[in-house]
Amino acid sequence: MAKKIQAIRGMNDCLPTETPVWQTVEETLRRVVASYGYREIRYPVVESTELFKRSIGEVTDIVEKEMYTFDDRNGDSLTLRPEGTACCVRAGNEHGLLYNQEQRLWYMGPMFRHERPQKGRYRQFHQFGCEVFGLSAPDSDAEVILLTARLWKQLGIAEHVRLELNSLGSNEARAAYRDALVSFLEQFKDQLDEDSLRRLYTNPLRILDTKNQDIQKILVDAPKLSEHLDDESTEHFKTLCERLDAAGIQYTVNERLVRGLDYYNRTVFEWITDSLGAQGTVCAGGRYDGLVEQLGGKATPAVGFALGLERLVLMVSSLETLKKIPAAVDVFVAAVGQNVENAAMQLAEQVRDEFPSRRVMLNCGGGSFKKQLKRADNSGAEIALILGEDEVSAKEVTVKFLREDKPQQRISQTDLASVLGA
């Protein structure tokens, strides 16, 4: 037997038993963002490597060790997109959507990162995200957060997520804070672990979200980002908090929340759950006022978020928050006897013509009455329409109710509405 070829580690199939949950989650997301007036944007899965290096930052986990990068046949360095924001800004700049305009956009699709696969963490995963351009005031940050809060409500998981919030301030304020943090941490250089030492001069803010408890103890006395915020950012953050309070959104301010990507300034936030084990961040976002310019456009403020669909699907599945998902078929057409198969195929098409919302499965490949009824049952259909030689010559059909205790009926083929109508 030939050797079976398997999927790439960390890249999963989504089987027909799983796709209904995915579709329900995706439809919910689409419906909610549409209710805020957001429009969809789509862009390629592959971009030039330079795009991610310049936006996400050279000394971030993603660019340092997680990207799928390769040379194409022309020798150009390409990368499978590890996230969507950089691509969105690239596309927006390229098509003149951003400067001096207001845009509320959303996207959804696969992303690729070479990480260690585990529950909630994969090498091909899916993100849904929103990006708002052209608005700098904190009400746009608040709107984005309100929108995400509505998503959790619609998905039935609002009780299982909590919001953490912080402000990174302006780039200048962050640079000043960075210097203060480095000077502080230099006193403890001999106590830092390998990761933190590596980050000390490349990306010291990342040390703030270390999982190492000894370093967390050192950080208790570290200078605080909030003490270095510029006045405008302080005001911006205060107003955002007021908006959230007014809207009844609960949050905690986490001074150590810095996010892994370089492009954020001012607001950063994460929605976190305890129901997924170690992979607790469901959704993350923030403001990135400098990115459009950094990628060659004219300065345009922006704010957005991305959420991981796998983590959402895991949550709604394990918490069973979604309504029971219906079977894929409503009506099964069976044909038993000589020369009835043409008539059966026509009948199935007739049902699809007259009742476009009904999902009809036609028995294929013949078989005994018993076998066909078994197929009808397995299909999940509620109704079987059965054609035998008698029915065909009388232009009638036998109706069998598969899930209800009701006697079967024989009706005219012109009277299907009496059973399929409502």
Contact residues toward ligand ATP (CB under 6 A) are 83, 113, 115, 120-122, 125, 127, 260, 279, 281-284, 306-308, 310-311
Sheet holding 103-112, edge to edge: 39-40, 103-112, 124-133, 302-308, 281-287, 265-273, 161-167, 252-253
Cβ neighbors of 405 (< 8 A, separation 6 or more) are none
Residue with tokens 């400067």: 99
Q: What angle do CA 112, 259, 82 make, to 5 degrees?
A: 10
Name the residue number minimizing CB distance to ligand ATP: 308
User: What count of other Cβ atoms lies within 10 Å of the Cβ of residue 287?
Assistant: 29
Q: Which is nearer to ligand ATP, 120 or 169 (CB)?
A: 120
Q: Which is nearer to ligand ATP, 113 or 174 (CB)?
A: 113
Minimum gap (Å) between residue 286 Cβ and ligand ATP: 9
Cβ neighbors of 269 (< 8 A, separation 6 or more) are 145, 163, 164, 165, 166, 251, 257, 284, 285, 286, 305
Minimum gap (Å) between residue 25 Cβ and ligand ATP: 13
Q: Which is nearer to ligand ATP, 167 or 372 (CB)?
A: 167
Q: Which tokens in the block code for residue 418?
A: 């009496």
Minimum gap (Å) between residue 348 Cβ and ligand ATP: 41
Q: Which is nearer to ligand ATP, 130 or 399 (CB)?
A: 130
Minimum gap (Å) between residue 131 Cβ and ligand ATP: 13
Q: How far apart, in whole angstroms, are the C-alpha atoms of residue 143 and residue 140?
A: 5
Phi-psi region of 302 (alpha: psi -120 to 50; beta: other; left: phi over 0): beta
Minimum gap (Å) between residue 113 Cβ and ligand ATP: 5
Q: How far apart, in whole angstroms, are the C-alpha atoms of residue 132 and residue 88?
A: 10
Q: Which is nearer to ligand ATP, 311 or 359 (CB)?
A: 311
Minimum gap (Å) between residue 151 Cβ and ligand ATP: 13
Q: Which is nearer to ligand ATP, 9 or 238 (CB)?
A: 9
Q: How far apart, in whole angstroms, are the C-alpha atoms of residue 422 and residue 417?
A: 8
Q: Which is nearer to ligand ATP, 304 or 388 (CB)?
A: 304
User: What count of other Cβ atoms lies within 10 Å of the Cβ of residue 245?
Assistant: 12
Minimum gap (Å) between residue 161 Cβ and ligand ATP: 11
